[in-house]
Amino acid sequence: MHLKNIRLHQFKNYNKASVHFSEEINCFVGINGSGKTNLLDAIHYLCLTKSALNPVDNLNIKHQKDFFTVFGDFDLHGKEIEIKCIFESGKKKQLIQNGKAYDKMSEHIGLLPVVMIAPDDTSLIKDGSEERRKFFDNMLCQLNRKYLEDLIRYTHFLKQRNALIKQFAEKGRWNAELIEPYTREIMQLSKSIARMRHDFLKEYEPLLIEYYKTISGDQEKISIQYETQCLEDGFESTFKANEQKDFILRRSTMGIHKDDFVFQISEYPIKKFGSQGQQKSFVIALKLAQFMVFFKHLNTKPILLLDDIFDKLDDNRIERLMKLVADHEFGQLFISDARPERSQGILASMDADCRFFLIEEGEVTDWS
């Protein structure tokens, strides 16, 4: 699969731009703030219907304008797929595939896989469990329709249950009969989702270990500890026993929204015990393993977006990552770099079709 071209209108700092891409390597060069990352983000929009950086669509409209459009043509197994993403302030976002609008955005997820690597972004390791759940949810949703549907249902029932608990708290009275349908759904969906998360890690973790070794050159053993109460024996009775606590705290205190994925190095949390370099390698390995899992399941190599890797990684890690590129591990590649000579130097030796684009204040020109 690859993206043949993209057309932007009033997207972030772009007024109008139209770019034709190489099937192999595309490198966006230009000073910081010129719009390199925004172009990567536009590709993310086409693949996943949303920004990788800013979840609020409104904030992705060019300053003082009231709509944006991102259009692109993909080649998927030889079939042409045109995707149009249209967002007008105050209206519902529209996503159109070959002239037909999707009823639900979620129907598009999984068709055009994409992986974005921003090595400086160690929030996956450093932030709270929500970031990590989002990462795995996002991945599983692209791979498994049942997971996506269960998660949508779960999120909805959780909102309803929490609203109900708030009302109970205000009235000072718990209504067991009324909350029962929500509790039942949440317990059932928690078990199903936790099971899918658990099974997925059995496949994902070995890939992660492999890529961590490749990128870091370390011999340290890494692992993921999946922490959940939802697969324990007697989960249902614990859940019910916990309702007293729900009532006091005015929200649901058990379920898969409390799970965590603890990243470990030599059996210690990498958050506390990993060096900066180890954390960066870990983040890259997480994304590369994601790439490989998508490739295996979806039978097409995902688009890979590499944001600012040459600046944020040391030479050894860049060299090992580029070896993977040279070995044709990846499909279509998009790279952003503030220093054109550097990326040209690194990419020149590749046996691949490589195109450079100069980005200046939201204008794109071919450059070589």
Partner 1 sequence: MNFPSKLIEDAVNEMSRLPGIGKKTALRLVLHLLKQKESVTEELSHALLALRKEIKYCQKCHNISDTDVCSICRGVRRDRSIICVVEDIPDVLAIENTSQYQGLYHVLGGVISPIQGIGPDELKIESLMERIRLAETEDKVEEVILALPATMEGDTTSFYITRKLKALNIKVSTIARGIPIGGELEYTDEVTLGRSILTRVNYSAD
The residues binding partner 1 (CB under 8 A) are: 145, 149, 153, 156-157, 159-161, 163-164, 167, 177-178, 180-182, 184-185
Alpha-carbon gap, residue 357 to 368, rounded angstroms: 8
The answer to whether 30 is annotated as binding is yes
In angstroms, give the least distance from the CB of 152 to partner 1: 9
**CB 174, min distance to partner 1, A:** 14
Shortest gap between Cβ of 146 and partner 1 (angstroms)? Answer: 8
- Which of 58, 175 has the CB closer to partner 1? 175
In whole angstroms, how close is the CB of 159 to partner 1 at the nearest point? 6
CB of 239 to partner 1, least distance (A): 17
Structure tokens at 27: 């490198």
* Beta carbon nearer to partner 1, 178 or 326: 178
Q: Give the distance, in angstroms, between the CA of residue 227 and the centroid of all CA atoms in the same chain.
A: 21
Nearer to partner 1, 76 or 176 (CB): 176
- Cβ-based nearer residue to partner 1, 188 or 253: 188
By C-beta, is 65 or 184 nearer to partner 1?
A: 184
Name the pairing type of β-strands 79-88 and 67-76. antiparallel
Is 12 annotated as belonging to a binding site? no
Is 13 annotated in some ligand binding site?
Answer: no
Is 32 labelled as part of a ligand binding site? yes
Between CA 232 and CA 182, with CA 149 as vertex, the angle to 5 degrees is 60
Minimum Å distance from CB 252 to partner 1?
12
End-to-end CA distance of the chain: 25
Report the nearest approach of partner 1 to the CB of residue 240 (Å). Answer: 16
* Residue 78 is labelled as binding a ligand: no
Nearer to partner 1, 59 or 249 (CB): 249
Q: Which of 324, 301, 303, 302 is nearest to 313 (CA)?
A: 324
In the complex with partner 1, which residue's Cβ is closer, 25 or 165?
Answer: 165
Q: CB of residue 179 vs partner 1: minimum separation in angstroms?
A: 9
* Residue 126 or 166 with smaller CB distance to partner 1: 166
Q: Was 33 annotated as part of a binding site?
A: yes
Q: What's the distance, CA 358 to chain centroid? A: 26
Q: Which residues sit in the known binding site?
A: 30-37
Q: Which residues sit in the known binding site for ATP?
A: 30-37
